Amino acid sequence: MLLLLAQTPQEAAKGIYFWLGMIVVAAVVLTVAALILRKLLLGGADEPVNLGFTLADLRDLHAKGELTDEQFDQAKRQMIARGKSMLADDAEGADAGGISGNPVEEIDLG
């Protein structure tokens, strides 16, 4: 306490500014650390993933009366066709890479 009374006002102000600066620096460092930790824990998934409609979504809309029978059937056919074409594309890509649908065919025992 005597040390504080023995200081001049300029020396006291310097000490106050020093500790005030240290508090600001600590706040910035802690904020950056918290943001990095949040990014690591959340895996960088800030945006929700939109997978589109599922068949269950279509059924719910149909049950609520928001889709007619014809609209539901058409949307269901389109969804199934899109799924089949994706499977066909995957199968063609696998065949082009030298991998067949039957792994036993690829084994050379001779």
pLDDT in tens, 88-98: 887 777 665 54
Structure tokens at 95: 């065949």
Contact 12, 4 (CB under 8 A): yes
How big is the chain, counted in residues?
110
- The pLDDT score that the predictor gives to residue 55 is 84
Rounded-to-integer distance, Cα 58 and Cα 68, Å: 11
Residue 58 CB: number of other CB atoms within 10 A?
19
pLDDT digit string (tens) for the chain, length 110 residues: 455 566 788 888 888 999 999 999 999 999 999 999 988 888 755 555 556 778 888 899 999 999 899 999 998 898 888 888 888 887 777 665 545 444 444 444 43
Residue 42 belongs to what H/E stretch? helix 9-42
Contact 36, 28 (CB under 8 A): no
